[in-house]
Amino acid sequence: MKLWEKNFEINKEIERFTVGRDRELDLYLAKYDVMGSMAHITMLESIGLLTPDELRMLLAALKDIYVQAERGEFTIEDGIEDVHSQVELMLTRRLGDVGKKIHSGRSRNDQVLLDLKLFTRDRLKGIVRLVEQLFHTLQTQSETYKDVLMPGYTHLQIAMPSSFGLWFGAYAESLVDDMMFLHAAFRQCNRNPLGSAAGYGSSFPLDRTMTTRLLGFESLNYNVVYAQMGRGKMERNVAFALASVAGTLAKLAYDACLFNSQNFGFVKLPNECTTGSSIMPHKKNPDVFELIRAKSNKLQALPQQIMMIMNNLPSGYFRDLQIIKEVFLPAFDELADCLQMADYIVERMEVNRHILDDEKYTPIFSVEKVNRLAASGVPFRDAYKQVGLEIEAGRFATDKQVHHTHEGSIGNLCTEEIALQMQSVVDQFHFEKIEQAEQALLAVKP
């Protein structure tokens, strides 16, 4: 069954090529397609295109399909083109001609736009929760090890004293910036395209404000042409937000792999999070962080993939956009997996409290000595030269103490201030409004 089928049969190879992976990928969208249909037909009844009895029957049948999709039992049958066709077929089998009425005033174009936005909105909520969890784990570790010093590096050369409080805390604050990207992407996503139909609206008196409210959207994509132009743009911008999170994870993973190696010995990963070698019995490899790094780097390429598919298209719908689903829909699961793995290991990571006992790290305290001399009245440039000459002559010695007090330094991590920044961003998502709208829409009584 094809919603556009007429009195001729399409070539089977052409059909295979044009359908592509839609039947497989549309399973991601099934419950969102049903939810969108429930809002749409509720609106159709309000403008007289469905009777109250027809609406009641359709809502009850759609809720049953939604439950199937929630349980993972929804399938797209052989010969059925996509999720929209499957849902309409199931309704028509159960309700006859009434099932054929649900498409009034819409196109598969605005259906898939809506499905993608509802899917993305929901999956972003999951990513936000996982980012928030990793953030709190990093902050906890930052406070736990705030007094444990470690060498800081520039150019991979030992540079100045750092601390595990700073190291863990740096990645926590990085996630605050990533959360800002997620919020911007979420707000763009949280606008209703339903009613734009094929991109030029409908002669039916659709109440688009009503479907916006029923689905818990913040606002509308008002211009129907722009609603269609948003296909690909929304995915690209969300992909940039996912890539921002992935960039933080990739850098964290690289550090962890480096610091776990015997040459550094700064951290020890949990035994259960490492793998062995088939030939070298001593090996404990940081494979999880290596895979997080690789998957995160792959995710950072996602915006470019999407741009290369949609970048040179004029206004209106084109089948090119179908291909975006192949790279976009699975990305949320991949990033969620990386976030969960990173959180698990970071929480259990052990740090080396005695790194700086090794004399090779003594030179990192040179700036501390220069600053102490400058504070006592020696001009900074003279103090710098004096300490430099001591190092060159092999006479440099120090007490390996640091006295940093300014905001964001070793002695003043500003953990609470960073936590407030994160909470301020998270509070702006207003997930509770969406959840209330969705629960009300799905509260159908037979």
Active site residues per annotation: 155, 277
Contact 54, 45 (CB under 8 A): yes
DSSP secondary structure of 95-156: HGGGGGGGGTT--HHHHHHHHHHHHHHHHHHHHHHHHHHHHHHHHHHHHHTTT-EEEEEETT
In this structure, the number of other CB atoms found within 10 A of the CB of residue 42 comes to 19
* Spatial CB neighbours of 427, under 8 Å, sequence gap ≥ 6: none
Instruction: Work out the end-to-end distance of the chain between its first and last CA atoms, rounded to an integer number of angstroms.
Output: 28
Residue 320 to residue 317: CA distance in whole angstroms: 9
Residue 248's nearest CA partner among 176, 351, 153 is 176
Residue 239's identity, in one-letter code, is: A
Give 261's DSSP letter.
S
- Please enumerate, as own/partner, the contacts of 67-72 that have beta carbons within 8 Å and a separation of 24 or more: 69/30, 69/31, 69/34, 70/31
